[in-house]
Every structure is written in structure tokens, then in C-alpha cells.
Amino acid sequence: MKYIIIILLGFFVMNTSAAGESIEPNFKAISDLDAAINLAHSMAANSVSQFVELVKNRGNGAYMAKLRFRDPELSDKSGKDQFLYLWLTDVYYHEKENILSGIFFEVPAGLKKWHQVGERLGFESEDVFDWMINTDGHVQGGYTIRVHRSKLSTAQEKAEYDEYIGISSYEKISQ
């Protein structure tokens, strides 16, 4: 079965421009058959225990996790399950419950019936499709955003993308 994946890209951007106008989240539709995205999800899954340890020993930085959400209305309309992948921020580890939680900072229209900006959602580490820690622009993890960035054609597009999402450098990934 083929699914369409929609990834929220604008996770570091404030919701207003310099001119004070509202900025909408930037979404990108990606097929679940995309080999690079599937590899990125696999790499994130294989390193999620590292992420959990980093969250437990929390330092400075933005701790984020990307989760998968079924879009009920779009799924009903298309007759097939359709998913959105969204980043939650301020990921925290709850020792007593042995779960993680994160906060929605952008919610697409299709999910506003169920989730709100500012809502904290608990989840298991197995629910994480990607993870990222951004410390002053230096990123650990972020496997799927690296894939998206690699598909940009020019150095200028990559620089604009990095600026848009608040990244100045990427930690090397060992495979």
C-alpha cells in the first residue's frame, strides 16, 4: 500500500515574518517509497536510544522528535491512510512513566480538531521517526531534514534552507 508522507519543514521559524505577517508552515509531500527517507527513518530508529540518553541528560539546545500522525479527514477522503509527520519540540523524558513528551508548536489544519499549538503529548521512544537536537545552530540527528536538504539543487537553496530552519552545521553521522 502506498502512502503519502507530509513533513513539516518550518519547525524553527517563528510564525510571523519581519513585516509582521503570518507565516504558514512549510510542508513537503514525500512518498513512503522514497528510499532515502526510509533509510533516514531507519537510522533514526537505530539511534533513538542515544537520543533518549541525551534527553535524560538534557543540556542546552532544542530537543525535538518527529512523530507520525494519521490524518483522519484526508484518509477518509482518499480511501487510504494518509499520514503527517510532525516535529514536537521541548522533548522531555518522564522517568517515572518511562515515556517522552513534546510540545506542538505548529499544527496543520487537518489535525487542529485533535491537537493544539502548545499541547504536550506523551509518546514512546518507538514512536519516534526522527530526532534532532539543535544547540546554537549545531545539529545532532535530523536524518530526514538532511535528506530533504540533499535534494536541493544549489548551494544557495541549501543555505536558504539552513537559515530557514536555524541550522549552521550538521554533526557527522557514522553509519
**pLDDT tens digits, one per residue of 47-69:** 999 999 999 999 899 999 999 99
Query: Radius of gyration (Cα) for the chain, nearest Å?
Result: 16
Percent of the residues in the chain that have a pLDDT greater than 70, as a whole number: 81
Look at residue 29 in the predicted model and tell me its pLDDT: 57
Quote the CA–CA distance of 67 and 94 in Å, as a whole number.
17
Q: Are 44 and 131 in contact (CB under 8 A)?
A: yes
Q: Where do we find the cell 532515502?
A: 36
Q: Is the pLDDT of residue 80 over 50?
A: yes
Band the pLDDT of 173: cuts 50, 70, 90.
confident
Quote the CA–CA distance of 159 and 71 in Å, as a whole number.
32
Quote the CA–CA distance of 58 and 92 in Å, as a whole number.
8
Look at residue 141 in the predicted model and tell me its pLDDT: 97
Look at residue 170 in the predicted model and tell me its pLDDT: 94
Q: Are 7 and 85 in contact (CB under 8 A)?
A: yes
pTM of the model: 0.80
Q: Are 10 and 28 in contact (CB under 8 A)?
A: no
| Residue 34 amino acid letter | D
Q: Cell numbers of 31, please?
A: 512518498
Q: Is the pLDDT of residue 31 over 80?
A: no
**Mean of per-residue pLDDT scores for the chain:** 84
Mean pLDDT confidence for 11-39? 56
| Residue 87 amino acid letter | W
Closest CA to 23 of 11, 31, 15, 34: 15
Phi, psi of 127 (to 5 degrees): -85, -5
**Chain segment 93-145, per-residue pLDDT in tens:** 999 999 999 999 999 887 888 999 999 999 999 999 999 999 999 999 999 99
Look at residue 30 in the predicted model and tell me its pLDDT: 60
